[in-house]
Amino acid sequence: MGHLLDTIHSPADIKKLSVSELESLAQEIREFLVRTLSKTGGHLGPNLGVVELTLAMHYVFDTPQDKFVFDVSHQAYVHKILTGRREQFETIRQPGGLNGFMLRTESEHDSYGAGHAGTALSAALGMAVARDLAGGKENVIALAGDAAFTNGISFEALNNIADQTKRLIVVLNDNEWSIDRNVGAIARYLHKIVTNEHLTHLHDSAARLLERFGGKTGKTAVHVVRRAEEAAKGLLWPSVLFEEFGLTYYGPLDGHNIGLLIETFQFLKAQERPVLLHAITQKGRGFQPALDKQKKFHGLGPYDPETGETKSAGQPTYSEVFANTLVKLASGNDKLVAITAAMPNGTALDLFRPHHPKKYFDVGIAEEHAVIFAAGMATQGYKPFCAIYSTFLQRAFDPIVHDVCLQNLPVVFCMDRGGLSGDDGPTHHGLFDISYLRGIPNIVHMVPKDEDELADMLYTAMLHDGPSAVRYPRGTGPGTPVKDHPAAIPIGTAELIQDGEDVAIFGLGALLPMAQELAAKLEDQGHSAAVINPRFVKPLDREMLARYAQRAGVIVTFEDHVLMGGFGSAVMEALNEMQLSVPVVRIGWPDHFIEHGKVEQLRAKYGISVEAALEKLAPYLRKMSRVGVVRR
């Protein structure tokens, strides 16, 4: 095990191997992935599926001169292994280690970094046009999963490719899955191509030719798999879509046949026209647990490398509380519907779907469409709950403004992963939604302190006749039991946890325990501290804020969000408008992108802590002591 893999230090080493050796290397890579990711967790299933594709690409092309763009780049683990990062691979998604996505600052072989789907074709076209303008000769290859073609940006790019460049290679990695099974007309269209008996016959013919002639007839094999030859037009109609966009279509090919892939890439490399290669791959290939449980092994934590078993979950996650609450609410409300953008598993709406299948809608990786679709339903008297990660909802900013809030429609945005998303890193941290939402008229923005309050906020949002948003963190909360019947919260009212005179501490959402800990330490020092659960970012409870601004010597805000434009900023703006002068100490994330890592370690590093708050408070506490405000 690892004999060939130990000899691979750069892509140049791959080119020295025979096809049979490459096939053996593919098996070693799969064993390496299964063994290593069992300790770190990560996107196992997608990477098991692209081993041969990645090997063939590196065999034919030359990075970093040639450019590879992955969509989404969570399927770039094999690429990382082959480009000099194998010895670091056990650090992937660990603090200070390799990023789980392509990262331009990590390696010269990572030409483009992205953690959101639908970007590869646009980025690759931009690179190709830049190459053309500069008179370059390098190749640009976009490897996009079939789920990326449910994203509108991909089709915006397709609309431009043939008009803008004569040399671009698009590889459609078709495994019928994103995280869940792909949905919609595009998925059905690709399925028709794959299952067309005439295409299957021609594909088999190409494979037999290659086997018969020992790889010396690549042009002949490619000719066989060419899907738009005039003589076959009547039979091969499924490829017409890509042909109409101006891309010459080849496929579908077996994405695990290294020899055929190499011959085909060598042929495509010489083409002076945009081309699309349709490769059929198997997500999770080579590891039976990943084949049996596709959703689970898309991305997961540590597992047993023999059985694939993971540690059983304990208390429900915030996502599960959200879904279970929505099941109850929908049972009593015929107009309530749930919408997800290809994330039923991540948002836990897969728990909602069996109970209310007719009220469940998966629109694919299409966040903008999801929001406008929800707006359309809302105009007809329905109450859409649109469950999208905070980081992915960024893509739908204009529809939120223009289609939902401008029309004051009762759409509820359920923003999972509000706050730091740990191992996934900056592409997935939900650190900006307060900033990008609170400036929009009409919207109500809520943040629960625990699981029970999340249920109450969902119920409140259901009753509210206007747009609203609820942000909640990844993973589990404090374990607060959820009531059988949620209670409505008066909009714009904060909750007083404990009264105090000297310092008023506002702990937003999951950071409320930090506020309580700070209060306890201040009490030990002789200072009286109030603790407030804000609950609402917009509208703020100005009455509560004014009361403590007039009483306390300093206000502290805690938030799992960037400081710029966040909750603390909202507090300062409100105080200014009310002409109340009181110092505000803000604890939150700084104005730059936060790397991946363990949440507690990152909080300590960036001062999201009680210790940091005490340090910032020290000058004000000393001043209060000098004027005799300390109570003992």
State the catalytic residues. Answer: 283, 367, 395
DSSP 396-431: GHHHIIIIIITTT---EEEETTBB--GGG-TTT-B-
Cα 159 to its chain centre, rounded Å, is 25
**470: nearest Cα among 488, 445, 441:** 445
Q: Which of 547, 530, 516, 521 is nearest to 450 (CA)?
A: 516
Question: Can you tell me the distance from the alpha carbon of 377 to that of 63, in angstroms, rounded to the nearest whole number?
Answer: 48
Cis peptide before 539 (omega within 30 of 0): yes
Rounded Cα–Cα distance for residues 378 and 581 (Å): 42
How far apart CA 508 and CA 514 sit, in angstroms, is 10
Say if residues 627 and 524 touch (Cβ distance below 8 Å): no
The β-bridge relationship of strands 529-533 and 495-498 is antiparallel
Give the residue from 117, 110, 14, 11 showing the smallest Cα distance to 67. Answer: 110
Q: Nearest to residue 475, comparing CAs of 398, 419, 407?
A: 419
- The tokens describing 392, both together, are 């992915």
Q: Return all residues near 419 (Cβ < 8 A) that are at least 6 apart.
A: 390, 429, 430, 431, 471, 473, 474, 509, 510, 560, 561
Residue 124 one-letter amino acid = A
* Distance from C-alpha of 584 to C-alpha of 622, rounded to nearest angstrom: 15
Three state DSSP letters for 524-541: HCCCCEEEEECCEEECCC
Q: Is 49 strand, coil or helix?
A: helix
Tell me the CA distances in angstroms from 414 to 320, 418, 433, one per residue in order. 12, 9, 11
Say whether 436 sits in a helix, a strand or coil.
Answer: helix
Q: Give the sign of the dihedral formed by CA 182, CA 184, CA 188, CA 190.
A: negative
Query: Two tokens at 489?
Result: 């919260």
Selection from 198, 189, 203 nearest residue 254 by Cα? 203
Three-class SS string for 146-196? HHHHHCHHHHHHHHHHHHHCCCCEEEEEECCECCCECCCHHHHHHHHHHHC
Do you know the residue count of the chain?
632
